[in-house]
Amino acid sequence: MPDWFRRNTKNIQTYSKRDTKEGMWHSCPSCRAVIYQTVLKDNFFVCHECSFHFRITSDAYINLLIDNNDYQEFSKNIVSSNPLNFTIPKDYSSQIQETINKTNKNSAITTVKGKINNIEVILGVMDFSFIGGSMGSVVGEKISRAIIKAEEENLPLIIITSSGGARMQEGAYSLMQLAKTSSKLARFSEKGGLYIVLLTDPTTGGISASIGMLGDIILAEPNALICFAGPRVIKQTIGQDLPKGFQTSEFLLKKGFIDNIVERKKIKETITSLIKVLKKR
């Protein structure tokens, strides 16, 4: 019987599968492009295909802005307590400790003193990975201390926001921080201080109702969600579809709520130029 069903040529030679470390590849949420970790990092965590800005940590922003990543962190060891003995859906004290262990941060904001293109500044950067970047008593206190430090040392104040708003586990203690930080900023402004704020995705709730909208200059990253109540909540409340792009940084720029939209790679130079023009000599 003819051997018709046998291959006359060798099969394609394959090699053993190489292990790929988890997290080496990222999928862009906007265009679905698959991006290698190193390429994404080199491009400031911005998609090279569609310019989607990934959320990044407070450390990444500090590294992006501060010269040689050389800075002095202050108010580092303040940690939230559980003044209301909040236990639903889980014990708040345990949640704080778990988040500290996971993020290696003591709170949702890091405050530092350093130089941006050789200009000394006070910088505060919120981190959404720490309980949604929510503002409780510790975040409010650290922001207040940063404002006071900027006032005492006559330095520009820069805050980068990324937050879901007030921290519900602290109740009224959390809501008090809106008034506390806003009053400190009002005094800082009266003394001639320069306050620049950069709104990143997301900036919502109490942060957008306080420090987020009180800057002398209000900048935002592209396509960032910036709002008080989220679009889903508003739609459920009024029972109507919302305009396309509603509550994005582009929408707010068009309506005059913010001053400019700045790509991540241009943030450092933009802030430098603003300080040189606006800072009192």
Kindly give the confidence (pLDDT) of every residue in the chain, 281 residues in length, as a single tens digit, with 9 standing for 90 and above: 556 555 555 554 444 444 445 678 999 999 999 999 999 999 999 999 999 999 999 999 999 999 999 999 999 999 999 999 999 888 999 999 999 999 999 999 999 999 999 999 999 999 999 999 999 999 999 999 999 999 999 999 999 999 999 999 999 999 999 999 999 999 999 999 999 999 999 999 999 999 999 999 999 999 999 999 888 888 889 988 888 888 999 999 999 999 999 999 999 999 999 999 998 65
Strands of 260-261's sheet, edge to edge? 71-73, 109-116, 119-126, 157-163, 195-203, 217-220, 260-261
Q: What is the CATH number of domain 55-278?
A: 3.90.226.10
Predicted confidence at residue 243, as pLDDT, reads 85
Taking only Cα atoms into account, the Rg of the chain, rounded to an integer number of angstroms, comes to 23
Distance from chain centroid for Cα 64: 13
Predicted confidence at residue 240, as pLDDT, reads 87
Predicted confidence at residue 245, as pLDDT, reads 85
Instruction: Name the residue type at position 276.
Output: K
Q: How far is CA 56 from CA 40, 118, 162, 182, in A?
A: 11, 24, 10, 26
Predicted confidence at residue 16, as pLDDT, reads 46
Enter the pTM of the model. 0.90
Predicted confidence at residue 232, as pLDDT, reads 84
CB neighbour list of residue 148: distance below 8 Å, 6 or more residues apart: 184
First to last CA, the chain: 98
**Domain residue spans of the chain:** 22-54, 55-278
HEC secondary structure over 79-130:
CCCCCCCCCCCCCHHHHHHHHHHHHCCCCCEEEEEEEECCEEEEEEEECCCC
* DSSP reduced 3-state for 178: helix
Please state whether 28 falls in left (phi above 0), alpha (psi between -120 and 50) or beta. beta
